[in-house]
Each structure stands twice: as C-alpha cells, then as structure tokens.
C-alpha cells in the first residue's frame, strides 16, 4: 500500500475504509472483511455509532496492530478542552484500542470552541496518548487560526472531495502547509460514473468507474476512504494500484468540477 508522510513524521495509507452509515451490527463483519482483503486504514468517528464494531472487526481480522491505521473524530457536541479529553477517552473505551489519528470532525464556528478543542488534541499528543492529530472540514480561516494560535499544523484535513467538487484551492493550501488531504464521499454518490471522461478511462484500463475515480484521488496525492459493505466492491475499491491516469486524463477529470458541494457547508454546520 502506498503511504503518505504526514508533517509529524508518521505515515498514513493512501486508501482505507470509511465506516459512516455502516450499521453497528454489521461493522465488525465489514471491517474484518476489509482488513482481511488488505485494507490498512479504517476511518471511524464517535458520531457513526459503530466504534465498538470497528474495534471488534480489527481484532477479529487478526492483523498486527502496528500494520493498521485507525482514525476517530471528536463530534461537535463534545468540543471544548475538557469535553474533548473525555470524548477521546470514550472513543478509546468503545474502540478497545488507541486510534492512530484523532480529528476534530467539524469546525462548528458558531460554537466558538474549535481552538480549545485543538489545544486538547495537542495535549493528548504531547502526553503520548495519541500519535497524530488533525482536523476535518476546516476552511482556510479555521486552519490559519489554529496554526497561528498554537504553532501546531494539523497532519490531515479530511474534506468533501469528489469529481464534482474538487477543492483545488484548499488542496493547494494543504500542500503549502504540509497537510495531507483526505477525501470524504470520494465516489460523489456515483454522480460522475457516467461522465464521458470517466467512461473513457474505464474503457481504456478495463477498470470500473469507481476504480477510476479512486485512482484519480490517489494521483491527486490524497488519502481516500471509500465505504462499501459489499465484499466484491470492497475488493474492487482496493484494486487501484496497478494502473494510472495519464496527464490528459487527469485534465479531463479536472474538467468535471462543478464547484458544487454535496454535503454541509463547514461555515454553517454546527
Ligand atoms: N469527515 C466528514 O465529515 C465525513 C463526511 C462524510 C463521510 N466521511 C468519511 O468518508 C467515508 C466515505 O464517504 P461516504 O461513505 O459518504 O461515501 P462513498 O465512499 O463515496 O460512497 C459510498 C457509497 O458508494 C457505494 N459504493 C462503494 N463502492 C462502490 C463501487 N465500487 N461501485 C459502486 N458503488 C460503490 C456504496 O454502496 P455499497 O455499500 O452497496 O457498496 C455506498 O452506497 C465515510 O464512510 C466516512 O468514513 C467523513
């Protein structure tokens, strides 16, 4: 598996499994299957309600802990310094393990707590309780504020990113700051599967539209976390490291950007 180096020196896999909306009673099975197929990363969150299943699935897979990368996220209603420390402990207890990476799930600017939340993550890191700390759905002003106030640069910003919403400016800022971009809803609800650019690459390479799009994320330099509960699609989504889009095909993919966000606007989601 291709790995991306983060600004704290640790490495994050270029592809992993996202577990949002996987029912709690199916999560252990799906995670164990994915890890058995070779998925090295599982992206979870407290709000997904399936951290216990995530941890159980990892243990059932029987893969050494140091070969797995686990992410969780602090939900909006646990922001603030002390609440975040407690929320982290709650996630560790549910997972039954210590995550490699913890993210602030949303900046929630109206709550006014993301800076205190960031300070709590710095404390967790400094106390050796978690290796890597990052953010999700942060806009440039949120990144600039936490970095300006603390001097600590998040290792990852996990953001909505798919062919219809490519976030070129934010990715460029991440590159300047040394932040890994991680793509959520990477398949964009399949809305680009029929786009001529995607279909042409799929025809040339013998890959599916989903594989073409996941490969595009990898070539953008992102870490990508597709979700599937289907064993065949789990395997398919991992199988994107034996072909490449050429420069013209990357340009064709770039032209699919509409600038239209599918999910919530981080400036107003609280
Ligand atoms: N930080 C955030 O705020 C945030 C927000 C949203 C998501 N995320 C993270 O990002 C992860 C991925 O995003 P997502 O779950 O929204 O969407 P996604 O991974 O883009 O798409 C998942 C959907 O695509 C289908 N699918 C998967 N592989 C496919 C394939 N090869 N061909 C056709 N269909 C396929 C799945 O159905 P089947 O299961 O039937 O295959 C499922 O309905 C989440 O699970 C979560 O970990 C984070």
**Interval 37-63: pLDDT, tens:** 999 999 999 999 999 999 999 999 999
pLDDT reported for residue 1: 86
Nearest to residue 161, comparing CAs of 141, 175, 176, 182? 182
Look at residue 227 and tell me whether its pLDDT is greater than 90: yes
Residues with CB under 6 A from ligand 1: 18-20, 43, 105, 136-137, 158, 184-187, 190, 208, 210, 225-230, 233, 236-237
171-203 pLDDT, tens digit each: 999 999 999 999 999 999 999 999 999 999 999
CA 167 / ligand 1 centre spacing (Å): 18
Exposure string over 97-119, b if 16+ CB within 10 A, otherwise e: bbbbbbbbbbbbbeeebbbebbb
State yes or no: is 48 an active-site residue.
yes
pLDDT reported for residue 120: 98
211-220 pLDDT, tens digit each: 999 999 999 9
Rounded average pLDDT over 74-98? 98
Write out the H or E segment, with its range, that includes residue 69.
strand 69-74
Residues of the chain above pLDDT 70, percent? 100
Taking the domain 11-190+221-227, which CATH number applies?
3.20.20.100
Using the atom order of ligand 1, give the atom closest to the CA of residue 230: 41
CA 148 / ligand 1 centre spacing (Å): 33
125-143 pLDDT, tens digit each: 999 999 999 999 999 999 9
Map out the domains of the chain as residue ranges: 11-190+221-227
27, 135, 184, 224: which to mutate for ligand 1, most atoms within 8 A of CB? Answer: 184
Q: Are 182 and 158 in contact (CB under 8 A)?
A: yes
CA distances from 117 to 99, 144, 197, 237 (A): 17, 15, 42, 34
Look at residue 84 and tell me whether its pLDDT is greater than 90: yes
The 3-class secondary structure across 150-178, one letter per residue, is HCCCCCEEEEECECCECCHHHHHHHHHHC
Indicate which residue's Cα is closest to atom 42 of ligand 1. Answer: 228
CA 126 / ligand 1 centre spacing (Å): 33
Cα–Cα distance measured from residue 261 to residue 264, given in angstroms and rounded to the nearest whole number: 8
Tokens of 90: 């709650």
Look at residue 245 and tell me whether its pLDDT is greater than 90: yes
pLDDT reported for residue 67: 97
Average pLDDT of the chain is 98
Look at residue 112 and tell me whether its pLDDT is greater than 90: yes
CA 251 / ligand 1 centre spacing (Å): 24
CA 14 / ligand 1 centre spacing (Å): 16
Of 48, 69, 118, 184, the catalytic one is 48
Rounded average pLDDT over 232-238? 98
Residues of the chain above pLDDT 90, percent? 99
Cα–Cα distance measured from residue 64 to residue 56, given in angstroms and rounded to the nearest whole number: 14
pTM (global) more than 0.95: yes
Indicate which residue's Cα is closest to atom 37 of ligand 1. Answer: 228
Look at residue 32 and tell me whether its pLDDT is greater than 90: yes
């Amino acid at each position: 598996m291709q790995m991306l180096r983060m600004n704290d020196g640790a490495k994050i896999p270029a592809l992993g499994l996202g577990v949002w909306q996987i029912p709690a009673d199916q999560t252990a099975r799906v995670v164990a299957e994915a890890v058995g197929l070779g998925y090295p990363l599982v992206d979870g969150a407290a709000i997904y309600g399936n951290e216990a299943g995530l941890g159980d699935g990892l243990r059932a897979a029987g893969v050494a802990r140091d070969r797995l990368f686990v992410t969780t996220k602090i939900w909006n209603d646990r922001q603030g310094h002390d609440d975040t420390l407690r929320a982290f402990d709650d996630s560790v207890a549910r997972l039954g393990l210590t995550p490699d990476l913890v993210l602030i799930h949303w900046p929630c600017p109206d709550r006014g707590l993301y800076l205190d939340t960031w300070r709590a993550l710095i404390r967790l890191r400094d106390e050796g309780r978690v290796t890597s700390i990052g953010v999700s759905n942060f806009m440039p002003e949120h990144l600039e504020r936490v970095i300006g106030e603390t001097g600590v640069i998040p290792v990852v910003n996990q953001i909505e990113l798919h062919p219809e919403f490519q976030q070129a400016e934010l990715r460029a800022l991440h590159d300047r700051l040394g932040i890994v971009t991680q793509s959520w809803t990477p398949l964009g609800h399949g809305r680009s599967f029929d786009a001529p650019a995607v279909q042409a690459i799929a025809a040339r390479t013998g890959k599916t539209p989903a594989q073409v799009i996941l490969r595009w994320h990898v070539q953008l330099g992102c870490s990508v976390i597709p979700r599937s509960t289907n064993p065949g699609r789990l395997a398919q989504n991992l199988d994107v490291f034996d072909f490449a889009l050429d420069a013209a095909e990357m340009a064709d993919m770039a032209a699919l950007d509409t600038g239209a966000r599918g999910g919530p606007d981080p400036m107003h989601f609280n």
